[in-house]
Amino acid sequence: MATEVKFIRLGIHWQDQIFDLQVSRELTFQELKTQLPLALASIRVELPTSFTIQVLNKQLVIDETAQLNQYPLGNGDQLIINAKGE
């Protein structure tokens, strides 16, 4: 029986930089938005207070309450952080 992969490796784009992160597939996009500022603060990267997340390499409409595993995301997919108002 195949074991379900519980984590995914994503590229997070912010201010002309790309950060490689491994996150749980069980996170919702809303939870990811809560955890990203904390994770990136550990390497002295500050995110805006209010932002959206968009999948760069796939045309997806995101429901922030849905878990990542509900979308066809795979290792290496790229997300971009957009400050609200941009």
**CATH, residue 76:** 3.10.20.90
**Residue 4 clears pLDDT 90, i.e. is over it:** no
Percentage of the chain lying above the pLDDT 90 cut: 85
Q: Is residue 15 part of a domain?
A: yes
Residue 57 confidence (pLDDT) above 90 = no
Whether 39 maps to a domain, the answer reads: yes
Q: What does the H/E/C string look like for the chain?
A: CCCCCCEEEEEEEECCEEEEEEEECCCEHHHHHHHHHHHHHCCCCCCCCCEEEEECCCCCCCCCCCEHHHCCCCCCCEEEEEECCC
Domain count, the chain: 1
pLDDT of 22 higher than 90: yes
Structure pTM?
A: 0.85
Whether residue 41 is contained in a domain is answered as: yes
- The confidence score (pLDDT) of residue 70 equals 95
User: Nearest 5°: phi and psi at 23?
Assistant: -130, 160
Residue 59 maps to a domain: yes
Domain presence at residue 2: no
Enclosing domain of residue 67? 8-83
